[in-house]
Chains A and B, each alone.
Chain A
Amino acid sequence: MGRFLLRRLINMIPLLIGITILSFLVMSLVPGDFFSSLKMNPQISPLVIKQMEREFGLDQPLMVRYFKWLWSVLHLDLGYSLAYHVSVTSLIGSRALNTVILSASAMLFSWVLAIPIGIAVAVNQNSIWDRILSFLAFFGMSLPNFFLAFLMMYFALKTGWFPIGGTYSVDYATLDFWSKIADRINHLILPVFVLGVAGMAGLMRLMRSQILEIKNSEFVRTARAKGLSERVVIYKHVLRNALNPFVTMAGYSLGDLLGGAALVEAVMNLQGLGLLLLDAVRSLDIYLVMGSVLMGTVLLLIGNLLADLALVAVDPRVDFSSMASQ
């Protein structure tokens, strides 16, 4: 396992370098920069702007800027946010944590519902519940999460049962520890629901089709022929084999989860990485943009790594040596 982890981590390095180059190139293509809006302001003298540009290194050639930035990234310094006037690293940390909490809860939500529902409808194939739930799954898969987020905001507005967007209440700072946690959870319910629904629908369909496929295979017939109870057949034979593609798919869908989280954050005004990136893009705060994209990529790579580890855990046929050789 140690060797596998090491190998995967080393494999990440060229990937991350490639991504930094790509995002740096993209940011250099951006017409104008943060200072172009300052230059329009007659109250700020051109000399001040020149000096600021020099401070931030924006007057140097592209290559020099890239390597300077890369060098400081290696020292865990992601640069300085031009709009927020603090270091990018300090901004990103807490925002990324919020995004991870949101995405992980949404994933948990969708798994906890998708697996049992998927099993139940597959076992009772073509029953009325199977049809209704399969149709609803299609419905849920097609519902754009930003639209569902708006609908939930409207729901919250009309019923008053949930806070209308935001990460925490106005009086958050005055609350005691447990109330703080309760407040955060209260603000998380709707976003987690919105983000979880789309994932749940897709995973439920996958679980259903996997179980249906495996239910008719030879080894399941053998298990039945041995006289095992239906319960044991489903849980020990069918389900275990259905979990492999399920976990693989879940790993692949992490990118969508992160993207969905960004949209939900933007619509519901949650202080996550996605909203931070959006603000940075709007104000052309280049170091913040690159820092956020890099952070998002790192999150995604870690997620994929965890998914692979989970795959080894649920499927005894997969081991680290076979994964490493892929």
Chain B
Amino acid sequence: MNATLATPAIEMARPLSAWRREWRHASWTVRLAALCLTVFYLFALASPFFAPYDPTFQNRLMPDCPPMRVHVAAPPDWDKGLFYTHPMKMVDPTERRYASDPSRRLYIHLLSHGHLFTTDSPIEPFYLMGSDALGRDLYSRIVYGARVSMFVGLVGVVISFSLGITIGALSGYVGGVVDNLIMRWSEIEMSLPSFYFLLALAAIIPAGLSTVVTFFLIVAIMSFISWAGFARIIRGMASTVRGLPYVEAARALGASRSRIIRRHVIPSVLGYAIVAATLSIPGFILGESALSLLGLGIQEPASSWGNLLAAAEDVQNLRHYPWILIPGIFIFLAVMSFNFLGDHLRDRLDPSNAG
């Protein structure tokens, strides 16, 4: 803030692009959040590139292997690889304990075989975040899981917001019986204990559907539960807007009802809607994670950050293989990033609500 005040002349002379201006305004937490989300969405969009191995490949020789340490190679060895790890070997099959073999080096190849990093063969793998009970690479499963966990928020928000804005704006603008009916219905939805209802609704999802269909069913269910809150707030704002002079002016000019809703009512509530949308994404991510964690959402062998955490429900797993909690850190980071971003957007777009 101070920097922009101090150098107004230079700013005027060389106008920054909108993105760079936004970046300058942002605090370090917001920048970190944006960076985090960018990485996660890249994970989701280019999973095969970021994941070193096939997320369903089971290395039966290495179940529950702990995360491996990365070492930087000395410059003379750089032709073999910049980084290496010591391969792990199971020393106690009943307790599934591993020991690394410091005499051998397993080189990690960057940007080879179409991956960001990988080893020559999944038989001798590099487990950045350990492996699960079936010997699958946890990091690869997390990368592929980002597809579900990162898009559930976006798709969910698009659906529930389109519903909420349309219904809310209609309700507030039309008024009368329609308004009354919609609001009573939304009251019923809002006085439901939403998570209980989510659990009950999840029972509808039949077992054995494809992951994509399950994904959309989960999103649909969560949107069905969450549109009412938005609709009510949008309605409140829309009925305020209806009485404003510029809307009356538009009506006096003979604008049709749908034109007024589209061109005047919706744009005036859009700033609020964007903030609320960003802040509601965590709810969708958490909802999906919770359902999948409880075994009612995305099913094995597909992964989402929630169903990866399900392994931790077994206390013995938690005791001996604590790295299975790592997916939870990803959920936490995604949720926190959206919260930071939403908070920041609120300050930028909706000054009346600042503080």
Which residues of A are at the interface with B, using a C-beta cutoff of 8 A?
Answer: 15, 18-19, 22-23, 26-27, 29-32, 135, 138-139, 141-144, 146-147, 150-151, 153-154, 157, 164-165, 209, 212-213, 255, 258-260, 262-263, 266-267, 274, 277-278, 281-282, 284, 289-290, 292-293, 296-297, 299-301, 304
Contact = CB atoms under 8 A, between A and B. Distances in A.
A301 B138 CA distance: 43
Contact of A30 (B203, B289, B322): B203
Contacts, number: 135
Given A147-B331, A255-B193, A29 B204 contact: yes
A209 B332 contact: no
B336 A142 contact: yes
Nearest to B193: A296
A143 B290 contact: no
A87 B151 CA distance: 42
A296 to B, nearest CB: 4
Contacts of A146: 289-290, 293, 309, 328
Contacts of A301: 191
Interface residues of B, number: 44
Interface in B162-186: none
Interface stretch (B89-97, B100-108, B248-256, B310-318): B310-318
B220 to A, nearest CB: 13
Contacts of A139: 336
A188 B113 CA distance: 52
Contacts of A147: 309, 325, 328-329, 331-332
B236 to A, nearest CB: 14
B187 A281 contact: no
A278 B294 contact: yes
A27 B355 contact: no
Contacts of A293: 192-193, 196-197, 200
A144 B283 CA distance: 10
A278 B203 contact: no
A277 B318 contact: no
Contacts of A165: 315
Given A26-B200, A212-B355, A266-B294, 14 more contacts: A15-B187, A26-B203, A142-B332, A143-B332, A146-B293, A154-B322, A209-B355, A262-B199, A277-B199, A278-B294, A281-B200, A293-B193, A293-B200, A304-B191
